Chains A and B, each alone.
Chain A
Amino acid sequence: MTKRNYIDQLDEQKIIDGAIKKDHACQKWIYEKFANKMMAVCLRYTADADEAKDLLQDSFIRVFDYLHQFRHKGSLEGWVRRVVVTSALNHYNVSKRRFTDVDIDSVDWEKGASYTPYNAQYTMDELTTLIKKLPPMAQTVFNLFAVDGYSHNEIAEMLNISDGTSKSNLFRARALLQEKLKQLEQHSYGQVREHR
């Protein structure tokens, strides 16, 4: 039996224990299980694939450094995802001056609050690209709130901003995304008409 087959037969707890003891086979098992999902997370929080790769590497180095702190209160995937998100935010924290706080009064609340049914016709690539076109703060807050499911309180704490700033950035992000989705739909509609 190869080591790889042997690892596959172990339960997750034993693999985690092995990874804590720096067993490369166990670490690789964890990496391979989550790397693709985490790459998608990294791509959402970074500007390009190169930076996403850097973030993925740094995140997994942290995962293996701090794996002994995993308390089994949730899934391992959830914990790994949290480490990745935290690593991404650390990058933002050191260059926090990039963030421009949006005055809450300047947000177009109507646009941000409007609910419109959306067709599931967009690919993941298209959605990711739309998020990346947002201003950095709005992009981060939207990622954290809408995709990763953090509350405004948690976001405020993670980004060291106020709840109000978090909410205003979320609404701003929603408004901008609606605009961009409209543009995308019109563009697609135009292309269809030209084709006819």
Chain B
Amino acid sequence: MDKFENIDDLFAQLGNDERQAPSEAWEYIIADQKRKRRAGLLWWYYGTAGVLLIVGLMGYYQFKSDKTNLQANNLVTKKTTDKKTADKKTKISISNSISNNNNIIENRETPRIIAANIVSNIIQKAFANKPIINNSTAKTDALDRVIVQQKQEESIVKANVPTDEVVTPPTTTQNNVLPKVQEDKKDKTIRKIPTPKIQKYFVEPLLMGTYNSRRLKGGADMTNYIDQRNASEVKLLSYGVGIIAGKQFSKNWNVQGGLLYNIQGLTASYTVSSAQKKVFVEVDPTMKKYDTTSNYIYIHDSAYRLEKGNAINGDQKFHYIRIPVIFEWQMNIKKTANIFYAGAGMSLNVLLAARGDIQDYQSTRSGVFVPINQVSLQRLGFDFTGGAGVLVPWFGRPDWKMSFGIRGMYSPVSAFSKEVPIKQHNYSLAFEVGVRKTW
């Protein structure tokens, strides 16, 4: 008979021990890999869709904005030209000359506008705090220069022509020449008075600090469990990041959408005052069905019923991605002033992952680590959101602003613990800081 020198050697045999591994373990491992792959793909899908949406919106509004500018400028040109044609009959040669020159200017309107746009943009950027110079101002300056030039030409013509050959134009016409042109200019100037430009769209990356809480409701035979959870759960400060883009559709209103990611965390610590009945279940292959239900996310496959007197301590983390649509109202729209805003809307939320790590360290099942929680949570849902804040000009730059805001979110989520449905009401309060670039 073999003998062992000491107790360690006797037990060292266990190192070579083999036991039959359960057949379903391999299936679980494969299922887990598939789930991770799906989650990864989901990230890519939503990320790509979000980026494409933002880029598409930016491109569309840029194109639309350029087109509108050109159409408006062409309209002004056409009206001016028509008016000049009507007046032309009563004007003397010198006024014809001015008119012709003006026509030359007007005929060159489109390339000039484009050039003026570029120049005025550069000037705006260089003198961000100075009054805004737009293309109509530039054009008016050009007209002023032409008028001065024509006055000089007129005096030269008068000086060189012999007195007897001078054809004196009708007094009325003569008196009307310059005033007419100036009237023309005045008319244009009135039509083109620089008005505060409404910056049509914006993009804002932001960071959020989120304070979360939840209330559980429902669940037959689960009153004690629900009450204990509601009483014991502690709110945790978690974080989020995101990017939103929006369009100003009137002076005070804008609509915005984007992509927000945040982790909602909770922690709980309490002692079970009565044993749960249907909440926590033993490892059961039938629970797999939640894994395959597309609209529900699986938290953990195994859980144990908790007996009275067990102390519970643990954390939960819910990883959410949100696609919000928010209508925002702004007050005090000035480029260099603080703008106050308030907004409300809804968002589609996608629960990317959830994990409930709760330990039962005084369980009657000695040494057992007990991962428990709702078996499944609704994967897709909606939440309601509302908030307010202030946009502060960033170092005097009119198109960059820092935003500081507070946002509240509420989302009702359906959950299941085996066959028992529970309603989970999530409440979050987010403090946001962002940088808003407007165009």
A interface with B by C-beta (< 8 Å)? 22, 24, 27-28, 31, 35-40, 43-44, 46-48, 50-51, 53-54, 56-57, 60-61, 64, 91-92, 94-95, 97-98, 115-122, 124, 127-128, 131, 136, 139, 142, 145-149, 174, 177-178, 181
Contacts and interface: CB of A to CB of B under 8 A. Distances in A.
B22 interface: yes
A124 B12 CA distance: 10
Given A39-B19, A94-B369, A115 B29 contact: no
Given A147-B11, A177-B7, A24 B19 contact: no
A94 B357 contact: yes
Interface residues of B, number: 42
B25 interface: yes
B430 to A, nearest CB: 29
A145 B302 CA distance: 30
Given A28-B26, A50-B282, A94-B369, A146 B17 contact: no
Interface in B357-406: 357, 359-361, 365-369
Given A61-B32, A119-B3, A131 B17 contact: no
Contacts of A136: 366-367
Contacts, number: 130
In the A-B complex, the 8 residue pairs with the smallest Cβ-Cβ separation, listed nearest first, are A35-B21, A120-B2, A40-B17, A91-B369, A36-B18, A146-B8, A39-B21, A95-B359
B3 A118 contact: yes
A48 B365 contact: yes
B359 A36 contact: no
A51 B359 CA distance: 13
A177 B302 contact: no
A127 B11 contact: yes
A138 B9 CA distance: 17
B21 A56 contact: yes
A35 B25 contact: yes
Contacts of B7: 116, 118, 146, 174, 177-178, 181
A139 B14 CA distance: 14
Given A124-B14, A147-B15, A31 B1 contact: no
Contacts of B171: none
Contact of A60 (B17, B29, B365): B29
B18 A37 contact: yes
Given A91-B369, A127-B13, A117 B361 contact: no
B28 interface: yes
B30 interface: yes
A127 B10 contact: yes
Contact of B28 (A35, A57, A116, A118): A57
B29 A43 contact: no
B5 interface: yes
Nearest to A31: B26
A136 B29 CA distance: 28
Contacts of A92: 369
B361 A95 contact: yes
Nearest to A22: B33
* Chain B CB within 10 A, most for which of A27, A48, A95, A142: A95
Nearest to A133: B366
Nearest to B18: A36
B155 interface: no
Given A95-B359, A98-B361, A117-B4, A56 B367 contact: no
B399 to A, nearest CB: 46
A54 B283 contact: yes
B1 A46 contact: no
Contacts of A95: 359-361, 369
A51 B368 contact: yes
Given A120-B3, A174-B7, A60 B25 contact: yes
Interface string B15-43: 11111111001101110110000000000
Contacts of B8: 145-146, 174
Contacts of A44: 14
Contact of A119 (B2, B14, B19, B282): B2
A64 B25 CA distance: 14
Contact of B11 (A39, A51, A94, A142): A142
B10 A120 contact: yes
* Chain A CB within 10 A, most for which of B15, B19, B25, B359: B19
B25 A40 contact: no
Given A28-B26, A40-B19, A47-B367, A120 B14 contact: no
Contact of A47 (B11, B26, B368): B368
A148 B15 contact: yes
Contacts of B2: 119-120
B6 interface: yes
* Chain A CB within 10 A, most for which of B2, B301, B367: B367
Nearest to B370: A95
B4 A120 contact: yes
B33 A54 contact: no
A15 to B, nearest CB: 16
Contacts of A174: 7-8
B353 to A, nearest CB: 14
Contact of B12 (A43, A47, A119, A146): A146
A172 B256 CA distance: 66
A91 B6 CA distance: 30
B10 A53 contact: no
Given A54-B283, A57-B28, A91-B369, A128 B17 contact: yes
Given A53-B283, A56-B22, A149-B12, 17 more contacts: A35-B21, A40-B17, A47-B365, A47-B367, A48-B365, A51-B368, A54-B283, A57-B25, A57-B29, A57-B32, A61-B33, A118-B7, A120-B1, A124-B17, A127-B13, A131-B14, A146-B7
A183 to B, nearest CB: 14
